[in-house]
Structure 1
Amino acid sequence: MAKTSIAIIGATGNMGSAIAKALAKGPYRLLLFASDKEKLEALKNNIIAATPSADLECTGCPVDASWEADVIIPAVPYGAEKEVVEKIKSVATQKIVISIANPLNESYNGLVTAPGTSAAEELQKLLPDSKVVKAFNTTYAADFAQPVINGQQVDAFVAGNDDEAVDMAKELVETAGFHPIVAGELTVSRTLEAMQLMLIQLTIKNNYNWLAGFKILHNHQ
């Protein structure tokens, strides 16, 4: 059976590199793209040193990476997503696209999306023929290296309208070391993005050092 291929666009950023390092431990083929080729090569060497079994390839073009991939992760800030999408739209048809972005304003005291929508829903509008799913937006980059905080495994929320895409995102969340929680349809992304805005505000206020996450405590019946 062919390996699932995952394109990470913006692989050398904080989140992109954290996701790449985590998913390299799984049974996937990673296609990494970033505009800085030296940084990308350094990331590749770093991953192979930590995970010699990693199956990954650096690519000089986001379109080539996305064309070959089953799953596309635009690991770029919300403001840069539109530009990435315009490049990959023609090759993203029927593919799973994971929205990790949080549409934060510059002062971290609000979201730039209009009420009644979310970054994930806006991405779905830009890619009407793709299966957009929200994941990894409530997990800091530092959490990937330490997905168990204070003895508790960090929860990571997944939201989407397509069952196949949601299942794939759940699998990736588990591979990365988090506990996946399917939160609902893509519209739930509005809540998830607002939750991360609050966590960022609390992190700044209480000096969590960008290592913090959500945990839902419940009674196991």
Structure 2
Amino acid sequence: MTTIAVLGSGTVARTLAGRLTDGGREVVVGSRDPRRAAGRWAGSGVRLTGLAEAADSGALVVNALPGPVSVEVLGGLAAQLAGKVLVDVANATDSDARGFASGLRYPGGSLAEEIQRALPDVRVVKTLNTMHESVMADPAGLATPPTAFLSGDDAEAKKAVGGLLGELGWPADWIIDLGGVESARAPEAFVLMVGGLVGALGPVPFGLSVAR
């Protein structure tokens, strides 16, 4: 079974790595500061390393880094990521005083497109960025089935990511393939609604769902 690398060591990384490890996957988490992050990951069963070592270890790599720094940080890992599938779950935004998204860092484009442009030898697939992090690894926990979207230029890469979503608890009919990497623009823009939704619903887990 292939090793999964998760780049980033925050709450999103912990949620995804925990579910995958519980399912029997070997997971390597890469942190920008492994020594500082070590205490939060003690006893998790996950190997914590630096970013380059993690990227080199995983056949499939998840970008759980903060969106605003993703292009710069991932660009420095081009050699380790070449030829691999990169699952981008981040959103790149500017934030308001409350910490909610106030604008997109790449208006007229998307973070996924910027990553693909910076790393042409990497097969980028956008997914899981339209929901609270807890929903990423427990979609059945919501009262209404959420939707996971796929955007990417490589059909085999999207197939591999669809399999990974299955391991995270996503039934196939809850996943919609939107098309090429440029189709990530619409789901990335959903983050602009989050502040208003939290104001209306309170701090409860939610995700975007397509009714049909």
What are the Cα deviations for residues 96-149 of structure 1, in whole angstroms up to 9, with x where unaligned? 01111112111223212131x110000001101010010111121132464234
Task: Please identify runs of 4+ aligned residues in structure 1 that moved more than 4 A.
Answer: none
Equivalent position to 2:203, from 203, 209, 214: 209
1:210 offset after TM fit, Å? 4.4
Q: Write the letter of the residue equivalent to 1:158.
A: L
Percent identity, please: 25
Q: Hey, what's the Cα distance between the residues in 1 that align with 2:202 and 2:180?
A: 30
- Secondary structure of the structure 2 residue equivalent to 1:105: strand
Structure 1 CA distance for aligned equivalents of residues 149 and 134 of structure 2? 17
TM-score by length of 1: 0.83
2:28 is matched with which residue: 11, 31, 38?
Answer: 31
Aligned to 1:153: 145
CA contact (8 A) 1:138 1:156 kept: yes
Which 5+ residue runs of structure 2 have no aligned equivalent? none
Q: Is the 1:155–1:214 contact (alpha carbons within 8 Å) kept by the matching residues of 2?
A: yes
Which residue is 1:45 aligned to? 43
* Shift, 1:70, TM fit: 0.9
1:143 counterpart = 2:140: no
Unaligned runs of 5+ in 1: 49-55
Instruction: Tell me, in whole angstroms, the C-alpha distance in 1 between the residues paired with 2:175 and 2:23.
Output: 16
Amino acid in the other structure paired with 2:161:
A
C-alpha distance in structure 2 between counterparts of 1:150 and 1:119, whole Å:
27
Question: Which position in structure 1 is the counterpart of 2:93?
Answer: 104
Matching residue within 7, 10, 28 for 2:8: 10
User: Mapping of 1:22-171 within 5 angstroms?
Assistant: 22-34=19-31, 35-37=33-35, 39-40=37-38, 42-46=40-44, 48=45, 56-59=46-49, 61-107=50-96, 108-115=101-108, 117-144=109-136, 146-171=138-163
Superposed CA RMSD = 2.0
Q: Determine helix, strand or coil for the equivalent of 1:138.
A: coil
